[in-house]
Amino acid sequence: MNEFYDRNTGKRGEGRVTRVARLPAVACAHFIVGRCRYEESLNPGYEPGYRCQVLARLESAYDEFLTRADAFALEEELAAKLWRARCESLYAKIGCPDYEPGDKNTCPDCALLADDVCLKRLPECSGRCPRYTLKNRG
Ligand code: SF4
Ligand code: SF4
């Protein structure tokens, strides 16, 4: 038995507290590693808090790199290789406490990075909500 306050009367009482568990939402089109990307897909890039903080800090270095690559007329493949090396050395200085090793050819090579979004920064999905949309399995 648990003590509780009746919402209507404000009086203290005793009884069983029933928690209504939401159904799992892994099949939702907006679900990704326990997070919800509904808002991000409605307005991509609108919420700065969802962005990877490492990439945000590398933005000006990247712009500078592009300007130089243009000036030296670097081929795309070489420019990408050089940027990756530069990015890795910058990332080693910046770091991220939430970093999880990835297996992509990106910098940072973080498993939580999706384009420029950090999946850990998206709101958590706490189960099926009114926005639940079944994934297209076609
Ligand atoms: S956890 Fe990964 S994606 Fe998120 S901010 Fe850190 S490096 Fe970027
Ligand atoms: S069920 Fe709702 S909260 Fe969960 S991922 Fe889908 S839309 Fe987002």
Ligand whose nearest atom lies closest to the CA of 100:
1
Question: 40 and 50 in contact (C-beta within 8 Å)?
Answer: yes
What is the structure's pLDDT at 46?
Answer: 94
Q: Using the mean position of ligand 2's atoms as its centre, give its distance from the Cα of residue 30 in Å.
A: 6
For residue 129, the ligand 2 atom closest to its alpha carbon is 2
pLDDT (0 to 100) of residue 87 = 87
**By C-alpha distance, which of 138, 123, 127, 126 is closest to 42?**
123
Confidence (pLDDT) at 120: 96
The CB of 113 under 6 Å from ligand 2? The reply is no
42 C-alpha to ligand 2 centroid (Å): 13
What DSSP state is assigned to residue 125? Answer: P
Please, where are the H alpha helices in the chain? 38-42, 53-71, 76-94
pLDDT of residue 2: 45
Integer angstrom CA distances of residue 103 from 50, 56, 77, 122 = 21, 21, 20, 21
Q: Which atom of ligand 2 is found nearest the CA of 28?
A: 6
Alpha-carbon gap, residue 116 to 118, rounded angstroms? 7
Distance, CA 138 to ligand 1 centroid (Å)? Answer: 31
| pLDDT tens, residue order, the chain (138 aa) | 444 433 444 455 455 555 678 888 999 999 999 999 999 999 999 999 999 999 888 888 888 898 999 999 989 899 988 988 888 888 888 889 999 998 877 788 899 999 899 999 999 999 999 999 999 865
